A and B are shown apart, each in its own frame.
Chain A
Amino acid sequence: MKAIIDWVDSRTGVKKLTHEALYERVPGGARWRYVWGSTLTFAIAVQFITGIFLWMGYAPSGQTAWESVNFIQNETTGGWLLRGLHHYTAQIMTVLLILHLMQVVIDGAYKAPREVNFWFGILLLQLVLGLSLTGYLLPWDQKGFWATKVATNITGIVPGIGRDLQRVIIGGADYGHHTLTRFFALHAGVLPGALIALLVAHIYLFRKHGLKAKEPVKGPDVAFWPDQVLKDAVACLAVLAAVLFLILRHKMFGGHGPVGAELGAPADPSEPYSAARPDWYFLFLFQFLKFFPGETEIWGAIVIPSLAMGVIFLMPFIGKWKLGHRFNIGFLFAILIGAGFLTYLAMAEDKNNATYQVAVKEAEADAERVKVLATALGVPNGGAVLLLRNDPLTQGPKLFAKNCANCHRFDGNDGMGNQPKNSQSASDLKGFGSREWITGLLDPEKIATTNYFGGTKLKDGKMVKFVKKNMPDYTPDQKAQLKKVIAALSAEAGLKAQGALDAQDTAMINEGRTLLKEAMKCTDCHQFRAKDEEATAPNLTGYGSREWLMKFLNNPGHPDFYGKKNDRMPAFGEKQILSEQQIGLIVDWLRGDWFEPLVQVKQ
């Protein structure tokens, strides 16, 4: 063994190097306040290791970025842990950077002869922030997409070259494949390369000038090894523990949130995202911008932050003046407190912002849904974004809220869980076509309420009169008949949720069909399973089925439906207010017809 070490040593000088590395003098003894540089080096090492492994599963393009990240996160062994480590170490690194900077400024370690190294440190800080910014986009989820869009739009306001600069950064006029390839090359190539070069220089200069001890020293000088190394190792382990805690916190302590790093729904330029926020360490800048209206934005986005950075850069010179050191400390704390306060303001504002809260909830639901769909169905060639665009459970409520909820309700709200501004003036469509819904319709107490015809001009129509006049006096026999008719009419819809019930009650349904025509006299006005030119009310054949509803939404004023008696409902299809696909999504959603994986049902 010794012979091998000697052989290597005589050719590389490795012994001397190790000795220099380990026996660096620590003036005044090992101290906890010196650990920050080492923890940062550790964090950078973690990012390199986890980053390279993530690289092996990542595919940067508009149709594969989210898909590959989702595959890492949800389908690959331990992918959630790997991604969690990378994500949260990046966050902790920002904290460590601030702590390191504070320690350097407070201890006066930026002063001569360490000025250049201080500048290297500030450049490293900028590189790490650059890595955070570029990394935020790479999963190509809604959050990263919209937040980065804001960030790159800010580069657009740089005077003169701004627009060209923005174009170069995003690789064209709009966001797409080239934005990802460029950001990825920056994130995994250019910036880490520059980081290593600067880090080597930073550590070299640190060794050259030695550690700047905090005065007054507490004891005799010691060597770096083992005392300071032990402290550094403990600090690194604490960093790792904090990262692991952040990854596992929702799993360990319950609560709401993902295990590991968050992954939103895939980026969709056509789907506005009001929950877009930068990561927390850029929130202060985000909030700061709100104070600069219109043309003055450049002050908040570029001029003032650059000036602050400039002052930090000049600290080694400012520190030479009598009160300079105190000014530097004061300035740094003022920035940190200011940034902290702005961050608090941003968070507090969001907390009290109902629109934002709704957007966050919606985003979480979309993220959860697309994960289920991607796992169960696989991703189509056009990307996972199509899974959500073609999903009734996702799009139905959104389309309903936008197009139907002005008059209608769904379970008392607009389908998204919000209360529309206008009061309800048409039926509540939750469970439309189900036995329960039809039972309510044929209930003399309920038919004239706003949940059925109460809000429309049909409240004085024949149907309401018929129900109110006849049904209260029904004999028990007639009530039993009504029940069968309801079952028969509801079976026309062929609802998924009622499938088992319909299959079980075939005899009753058959009986109901006959009663509907005869005893109940429905066919006096309605058509049912037979052509009737004189029918004056909506056709009951296939009532509530996909086909029936598609035609109804296409034009409710068609003679097959309300004809001229139609109240205010627009012909969504014929007037091209909605496309056939959109109508289909609303219809499927109303009918409770969307993809459910088997596992989900089991739960």
Chain B
Amino acid sequence: MDSQKSGQTDRRDFFRKALAVIIGGIAGIVPAIAGLRTFLDPLKHKSDVAPSGVPLIQVTTLDALPNDGVPRKFPVLANKTDAWNKYVNVPIGAVYLRRTPDDKVEALNVVCPHAGCFVDFVAEKGNFLCPCHNSLFTMDGKLADAKSPSPRALDSLKVEVKDGVVSVAFQNFEAGRPDRVPVS
């Protein structure tokens, strides 16, 4: 009789404990989930590259690009959305443009694929040097040094020259990996 009674009390006790934990847990977890949902919002807005491809952006004129084969740096202007602000025609990056001996134009994104610093063109040596970790690239953007910290060459971009206007399909690629993956 006694053991049955205490068994019942035990069960009731367990039931109350379980209920307290569950109810308290629900009350506590709701605000945490609400917060995390908002916090993780950036993961929801990964944009895919438009099906029409990367848009061409006018960067400069062919006249502004000397025929000496030396790269020149140009800012890339476009519309930009930063959270609630929408900006019209602001710098979104920069490119090195170079006229090759066969009179083609090559474009390189100025961002070092290692950690994302802007690389400098060193005129005396005729190569690109990243000021952050000394990644070295040749004038056409290839890795100049087998021990370079950069996992890949500078990112070349598609160029179109039409009626003397140079346009570039400007794109950033994720840093720190050997393959080129567009930042989305």
A85 and B34 in contact (CB under 8 A), knowing A53-B39, A68-B83, A381-B85? yes
Among B23, B36, B85, B86, contact of A230 (Cβ-Cβ < 8 Å)? B23
Closest B residue, CB atoms, query A75: B84
Bound Cα distance A374, B81 (Å): 12
A77 and B83 in contact (CB under 8 A), knowing A230-B16, A233-B20? no
B27 touches A233 (CB 8 A): yes
Residues in B with CB closer than 8 Å to A42 are 27-28
Residues from 1 to 54 in B contacting A, C-beta threshold 8 Å: 13, 16-17, 19-20, 23-24, 26-28, 30-32, 34-41, 44
Residues in A with CB closer than 8 Å to B87 are 381
B38 touches A71 (CB 8 A): no
Min CB–CB distance B21 → chain A (angstroms)? 8
Among A45, A230, A378, contact of B84 (Cβ-Cβ < 8 Å)? A378
B35 touches A226 (CB 8 A): no
A46 touches B31 (CB 8 A): yes
A226 touches B16 (CB 8 A): yes
Q: Is A82 an interface residue (CB 8 A)?
A: yes
Of A56, A82, A234, which is in contact with the most chain B CB atoms at under 10 Å from its CB? A82
A49 and B84 in contact (CB under 8 A), knowing A77-B41, A230-B20, A233-B24? no
Residues in A with CB closer than 8 Å to B19 are 230, 233
Q: Is A240 an interface residue (CB 8 A)?
A: yes
Residues in B with CB closer than 8 Å to A82 are 34-35, 37-38
Interface of B is mostly: helix
A77 touches B85 (CB 8 A): no
B20 touches A377 (CB 8 A): no
Bound Cα distance A239, B31 (Å): 12
Min CB–CB distance B94 → chain A (angstroms)? 22
Q: Is A498 an interface residue (CB 8 A)?
A: no
Residues in B with CB closer than 8 Å to A56 are 38-39
Q: Is A330 an interface residue (CB 8 A)?
A: no
Residues from 226 to 269 in A contacting B, C-beta threshold 8 Å: 226-227, 229-230, 232-234, 236-237, 239-240, 244
Bound Cα distance A45, B26 (Å): 14
Bound Cα distance A474, B90 (Å): 63
B23 touches A237 (CB 8 A): yes
Closest A residue, CB atoms, query B16: A226
Question: A101-138 CB contact bits vs B (8 Å, 1 = yes)?
Answer: 00000000000000000000000000000000000000
Min CB–CB distance A592 → chain B (angstroms)? 25
B35 touches A52 (CB 8 A): yes
A78 touches B20 (CB 8 A): no
Of B27, B28, B44, B81, which is in contact with the most chain A CB atoms at under 10 Å from its CB? B27
Number of A-B residue pairs with CB-CB distance less than 8 Å in the complex they form? 102
Q: Is A67 an interface residue (CB 8 A)?
A: yes
A229 touches B28 (CB 8 A): no
A226 touches B17 (CB 8 A): yes
B28 touches A45 (CB 8 A): yes
Min CB–CB distance B47 → chain A (angstroms)? 15
Question: A529-540 CB contact bits vs B (8 Å, 1 = yes)?
Answer: 000000000000
Residues in A with CB closer than 8 Å to B24 are 229, 232-233, 236-237
Bound Cα distance A78, B44 (Å): 12
Of B26, B37, B38, B85, which is in contact with the most chain A CB atoms at under 10 Å from its CB? B38
Bound Cα distance A148, B84 (Å): 25
Among A71, A226, A232, A237, contact of B83 (Cβ-Cβ < 8 Å)? A71
Min CB–CB distance A38 → chain B (angstroms)? 10
Bound Cα distance A81, B39 (Å): 12
Question: A378-398 CB contact bits vs B (8 Å, 1 = yes)?
Answer: 111100100000000000000
A72 and B85 in contact (CB under 8 A), knowing A226-B20, A233-B24, A233-B27? no
Min CB–CB distance A561 → chain B (angstroms)? 38
A50 touches B27 (CB 8 A): no
Residues in A with CB closer than 8 Å to B31 are 45-46, 49-50, 85, 240
Residues in A with CB closer than 8 Å to B39 are 53, 56
Of B32, B41, B44, B83, which is in contact with the most chain A CB atoms at under 10 Å from its CB? B83
Q: Is A79 an interface residue (CB 8 A)?
A: yes
Q: Is A70 an interface residue (CB 8 A)?
A: yes
Bound Cα distance A379, B28 (Å): 36
Residues from 309 to 354 in A contacting B, C-beta threshold 8 Å: none
Min CB–CB distance B36 → chain A (angstroms)? 8
Residues in B with CB closer than 8 Å to A225 are 17, 20
Residues in A with CB closer than 8 Å to B13 are 226
Bound Cα distance A240, B28 (Å): 9
A77 touches B34 (CB 8 A): no
Bound Cα distance A410, B32 (Å): 51
Among B20, B34, B83, contact of A229 (Cβ-Cβ < 8 Å)? B20
Q: Is A418 an interface residue (CB 8 A)?
A: no
Residues in A with CB closer than 8 Å to B35 are 49-50, 52-53, 82
Residues in A with CB closer than 8 Å to B36 are 53
What are 17 pairs between A and B in contact, CB < 8 Å?
A: A42-B28, A49-B32, A53-B35, A67-B85, A71-B84, A75-B84, A77-B37, A77-B38, A226-B20, A229-B20, A230-B23, A236-B23, A240-B26, A240-B30, A378-B84, A379-B85, A379-B86
Q: Which 10 A-B pairs have the closest CB atoms?
A: A378-B86, A53-B35, A233-B24, A78-B37, A230-B20, A233-B23, A236-B27, A77-B41, A226-B17, A71-B84
- 6 further A-B contacts with Cβ under 8 Å, apart from A226-B13, A233-B23, A381-B87, are A82-B37, A226-B16, A229-B20, A230-B19, A230-B20, A380-B85
